[in-house]
Amino acid sequence: MPKLLGVSGLRPAQGAVRKAKRYGRGGKRGGTSGRGHKGQKARSGNHKPGPGFEGGQTPITLRFPKRGFTNFTRREYAVVNLDRLQHWIDIGKLKCSPDKPITALELEQSNCVHGAKGGIKLLSDGAIPLRSAVFIQPSKASKTAIRAIEQKGGGIICRYYNALAMRDCLNGRTDRKAAAPTRREDIEWYSDFKHRGYLDVKSVERWSAAAKRWQTARDAGLLVTSMPPSPTLKLSSSTVNTVDAS
């Protein structure tokens, strides 16, 4: 019985398929191995120039001048405003005292800020005024934010954190001592009283005085730590009679 034709019986024509030539293996075709003498196609690789190659002339990336540089010491601070800080205190996500001030750890854990690896910068922008006595230790703070915090009986000290110290702060580690600033501008900034730097003696004394006033107010029950109660709607007797008549 003759064999039926089918897909399984298809084969390429004899001589149509040849094995690829393998270059550089020695034997009868050693030396140039079938690539000829020198030239771009005789080299190893894909025989194509790299990106930006313009045939030998000066590429455009070198013809144009460069200006400026990238400052590798630049730090990106996580900004937090006083209105957001007050709102987080009102809803109970943040609590502070002179013994346990607000740091980057509390702000990160309460989702008040995100990406605080470079430090915290406190600003006074916002519509909600500050009502609570806040004790906070950011990396930087504006003058208006410092003034607003101290007017409400709080305290603020700006502390320097390098990369390792900020990592320990965000991880809650207290077994290692934080490094002191080494750059001249950082030493001058954190030694200035107007910035409330932690290297300034007067700033530390003002923090201690605010802590004593806070403890006295807490013992007397005069602390403002939450949102004031919303005013209730009071109906007069004439209004009630009018509603009943209708």
Task: Assign 2 a pLDDT band (cuts: 50, 70, 90).
Answer: low
Per-residue pLDDT, 241:
45
Task: Assign 29 a pLDDT band (cuts: 50, 70, 90).
Answer: low
Per-residue pLDDT, 203:
95
Order of strands across the sheet that contains 78-81: 78-81, 120-123, 140-141
Q: How far apart are CA 149 and CA 146, in angstroms?
A: 5
Q: How far apart are CA 14 and CA 199, in angstroms?
A: 90
- Other C-beta atoms closer than 10 Å to the C-beta of 213 total 15
Q: Is the Cβ–Cβ distance between 115 and 80 less than 8 Å?
A: no
Please indicate whether residue 222 or residue 41 has the higher confidence score (pLDDT). 41
- Of the ranges 69-73, 162-166, 177-181, 204-208, which one carries the lowest mean pLDDT score? 69-73
Task: Assign 225 a pLDDT band (cuts: 50, 70, 90).
Answer: low
Q: Which helix (H) or strand (E) holds 87?
A: helix 82-90
Model confidence at 100: pLDDT above 90: yes
Q: Is the Cβ–Cβ distance between 96 and 137 less than 8 Å?
A: no
Taking residues 30-38, what's their average pLDDT? 78
Q: Is the Cβ–Cβ distance between 118 and 77 less than 8 Å?
A: yes
Per-residue pLDDT, 245:
46
Helix (H, G, I), strand (E, B) or coil at 140: strand
Helix (H, G, I), strand (E, B) or coil at 90: helix
Model confidence at 89: pLDDT above 80: yes
Per-residue pLDDT, 240:
36
Q: Which helix (H) or strand (E) holds 81?
A: strand 78-81
Please indicate whether residue 11 or residue 202 has the higher confidence score (pLDDT). 202
Model confidence at 60: pLDDT above 90: yes
Q: Is the Cβ–Cβ distance between 78 and 121 less than 8 Å?
A: yes
Per-residue pLDDT, 49:
87
Q: Is the Cβ–Cβ distance between 42 and 35 less than 8 Å?
A: yes
- Of the ranges 2-6, 52-56, 215-219, which one carries the lowest mean pLDDT score? 2-6
- Tell me, what amino acid is at 8? S
Percent of the chain with pLDDT over 70: 86
